[in-house]
Amino acid sequence: MTDVASSTRRFTFSAGHRYQVDAWSATENERAFGRLTIPHGHNYTVDVTVRGPIDATTGMMMDLAELKRVVAETVVERFDHADLNADPLFRGKVPTTENIAIVIWDLLAPKLGLERLARIRVFEDPTLWVDYEGA
Ligand code: NI
Protein backbone atom coordinates (compact mmCIF):
# COMPACT_ATOMS: atom_id res chain seq x y z
CA MET A 1 0.00 0.00 0.00
CA THR A 2 1.28 3.44 -0.90
CA ASP A 3 1.18 6.12 1.75
CA VAL A 4 -0.53 9.36 0.79
CA ALA A 5 0.23 12.76 2.30
CA SER A 6 -0.84 16.37 1.99
CA SER A 7 1.77 19.12 1.93
CA THR A 8 1.07 22.82 2.27
CA ARG A 9 3.21 25.76 1.38
CA ARG A 10 2.39 29.34 2.43
CA PHE A 11 2.72 32.44 0.24
CA THR A 12 1.93 36.11 0.77
CA PHE A 13 1.15 39.04 -1.47
CA SER A 14 -0.26 42.53 -1.01
CA ALA A 15 -2.95 43.73 -3.37
CA GLY A 16 -5.66 46.33 -3.74
CA HIS A 17 -9.29 45.86 -4.61
CA ARG A 18 -12.78 47.22 -4.30
CA TYR A 19 -16.13 45.49 -4.44
CA GLN A 20 -18.24 46.55 -7.36
CA VAL A 21 -20.78 44.94 -9.66
CA ASP A 22 -20.39 46.88 -12.90
CA ALA A 23 -24.03 46.40 -13.91
CA TRP A 24 -25.25 48.00 -10.69
CA SER A 25 -25.68 51.69 -9.85
CA ALA A 26 -23.48 53.34 -7.20
CA THR A 27 -26.41 53.18 -4.78
CA GLU A 28 -26.97 49.47 -5.37
CA ASN A 29 -23.26 48.78 -4.90
CA GLU A 30 -23.17 50.77 -1.68
CA ARG A 31 -26.23 48.96 -0.39
CA ALA A 32 -24.65 45.57 -1.04
CA PHE A 33 -21.03 46.27 -0.16
CA GLY A 34 -20.93 49.40 2.02
CA ARG A 35 -17.41 50.72 2.50
CA LEU A 36 -15.93 47.80 0.54
CA THR A 37 -16.72 49.83 -2.60
CA ILE A 38 -13.83 52.14 -1.63
CA PRO A 39 -10.41 51.04 -2.99
CA HIS A 40 -8.27 49.52 -0.21
CA GLY A 41 -5.60 46.89 0.23
CA HIS A 42 -4.92 43.64 2.05
CA ASN A 43 -1.90 41.55 2.91
CA TYR A 44 -3.13 38.21 1.61
CA THR A 45 -1.81 34.84 2.73
CA VAL A 46 -2.33 31.86 0.44
CA ASP A 47 -1.84 28.26 1.55
CA VAL A 48 -1.47 25.88 -1.39
CA THR A 49 -2.05 22.22 -0.49
CA VAL A 50 -1.00 19.35 -2.74
CA ARG A 51 -1.83 15.72 -2.07
CA GLY A 52 -0.53 12.46 -3.43
CA PRO A 53 1.42 9.26 -2.89
CA ILE A 54 4.78 9.48 -1.16
CA ASP A 55 7.61 8.23 -3.37
CA ALA A 56 9.14 5.29 -1.53
CA THR A 57 12.68 6.17 -2.65
CA THR A 58 12.77 9.95 -2.12
CA GLY A 59 10.30 9.98 0.76
CA MET A 60 8.67 13.00 -0.87
CA MET A 61 5.14 13.62 -2.08
CA MET A 62 6.39 16.30 -4.47
CA ASP A 63 9.40 18.56 -4.77
CA LEU A 64 8.28 21.46 -2.58
CA ALA A 65 10.95 23.69 -4.13
CA GLU A 66 9.13 23.19 -7.45
CA LEU A 67 5.84 24.08 -5.74
CA LYS A 68 7.43 27.26 -4.42
CA ARG A 69 8.74 28.21 -7.87
CA VAL A 70 5.44 27.51 -9.66
CA VAL A 71 3.28 29.48 -7.22
CA ALA A 72 5.75 32.38 -7.06
CA GLU A 73 5.85 32.67 -10.86
CA THR A 74 2.16 32.07 -11.47
CA VAL A 75 0.40 33.77 -8.56
CA VAL A 76 2.67 35.98 -6.45
CA GLU A 77 4.37 37.80 -9.33
CA ARG A 78 1.00 38.42 -10.94
CA PHE A 79 -0.89 39.75 -7.92
CA ASP A 80 1.71 41.31 -5.60
CA HIS A 81 1.20 45.08 -5.54
CA ALA A 82 -1.52 44.73 -8.17
CA ASP A 83 -4.96 46.25 -8.47
CA LEU A 84 -7.05 43.07 -8.60
CA ASN A 85 -9.97 44.85 -10.28
CA ALA A 86 -7.66 45.69 -13.21
CA ASP A 87 -6.57 42.07 -13.78
CA PRO A 88 -8.41 40.44 -16.73
CA LEU A 89 -9.04 37.37 -14.57
CA PHE A 90 -11.39 39.51 -12.45
CA ARG A 91 -13.21 41.07 -15.39
CA GLY A 92 -16.90 40.78 -14.56
CA LYS A 93 -16.04 39.19 -11.19
CA VAL A 94 -15.98 40.90 -7.80
CA PRO A 95 -12.50 40.27 -6.31
CA THR A 96 -13.82 38.74 -3.10
CA THR A 97 -11.72 36.27 -1.12
CA GLU A 98 -13.90 33.51 -2.61
CA ASN A 99 -13.19 34.59 -6.18
CA ILE A 100 -9.48 35.08 -5.44
CA ALA A 101 -9.31 31.47 -4.23
CA ILE A 102 -11.03 30.23 -7.40
CA VAL A 103 -8.82 32.33 -9.70
CA ILE A 104 -5.68 31.01 -7.96
CA TRP A 105 -6.98 27.44 -8.28
CA ASP A 106 -7.60 27.96 -12.01
CA LEU A 107 -4.08 29.39 -12.48
CA LEU A 108 -2.40 26.52 -10.62
CA ALA A 109 -4.49 23.51 -11.71
CA PRO A 110 -2.89 23.26 -15.19
CA LYS A 111 0.63 23.57 -13.73
CA LEU A 112 0.30 21.28 -10.71
CA GLY A 113 -2.32 18.87 -12.06
CA LEU A 114 -5.84 18.32 -10.76
CA GLU A 115 -4.76 14.96 -9.34
CA ARG A 116 -2.24 16.78 -7.13
CA LEU A 117 -3.83 20.14 -6.28
CA ALA A 118 -5.98 19.61 -3.19
CA ARG A 119 -6.89 22.98 -1.69
CA ILE A 120 -6.39 26.72 -1.96
CA ARG A 121 -6.84 28.63 1.29
CA VAL A 122 -6.81 32.43 1.02
CA PHE A 123 -6.58 34.57 4.15
CA GLU A 124 -7.69 38.18 3.73
CA ASP A 125 -6.51 38.75 7.29
CA PRO A 126 -5.77 36.39 10.21
CA THR A 127 -9.47 36.22 11.13
CA LEU A 128 -11.02 35.58 7.70
CA TRP A 129 -10.22 32.89 5.16
CA VAL A 130 -11.81 30.93 2.35
CA ASP A 131 -11.11 27.35 1.24
CA TYR A 132 -11.60 26.18 -2.33
CA GLU A 133 -11.11 22.56 -3.32
CA GLY A 134 -12.21 22.63 -6.96
CA ALA A 135 -15.60 22.59 -8.63
NI1 NI B 1 -11.14 44.20 1.03
Banded model confidence at residue 61, pLDDT cuts 50, 70, 90: very high
Query: 135 C-alpha to center of ligand 1: Å?
Result: 24
Q: Is the pLDDT of residue 32 over 80?
A: yes
pLDDT in the model for residue 93: 96
pLDDT in the model for residue 99: 98
Check if the beta carbon of residue 74 is closer than 8 Å to that of residue 107: yes
pLDDT in the model for residue 52: 96
pTM score, whole prediction: 0.95
Query: 63 C-alpha to center of ligand 1: Å?
Result: 33
How many CB atoms neighbour CB 69 within 10 A? 11
Q: Is the pLDDT of residue 18 over 90?
A: yes
Task: Sheet with 117-125: list strands edge to edge.
Answer: 82-83, 4-17, 40-53, 117-125, 128-132
Banded model confidence at residue 17, pLDDT cuts 50, 70, 90: very high
Q: Is the pLDDT of residue 103 over 80?
A: yes
In the chain, the number of structural domains is 1
Query: 42 C-alpha to center of ligand 1: Å?
Result: 6
Give the structural domain span for 104. Answer: 4-132
Query: 10 C-alpha to center of ligand 1: Å?
Result: 20
Neighbouring-strand partners of residue 119: 49
Query: 38 C-alpha to center of ligand 1: Å?
Result: 9
In 4-127, the DSSP E strands lie at 4-17, 40-53, 82-83, 117-125
Query: 56 C-alpha to center of ligand 1: Å?
Result: 44
Query: 104 C-alpha to center of ligand 1: Å?
Result: 17
Query: 129 C-alpha to center of ligand 1: Å?
Result: 12
Q: Is the pLDDT of residue 48 over 90?
A: yes
Query: 18 C-alpha to center of ligand 1: Å?
Result: 6
Q: Are strands 128-132 and 117-125 parallel, antiparallel or unpaired?
A: antiparallel
Give me the CATH number covering residue 88: 3.30.479.10
Banded model confidence at residue 105, pLDDT cuts 50, 70, 90: very high
Banded model confidence at residue 1, pLDDT cuts 50, 70, 90: confident
pLDDT in the model for residue 64: 92
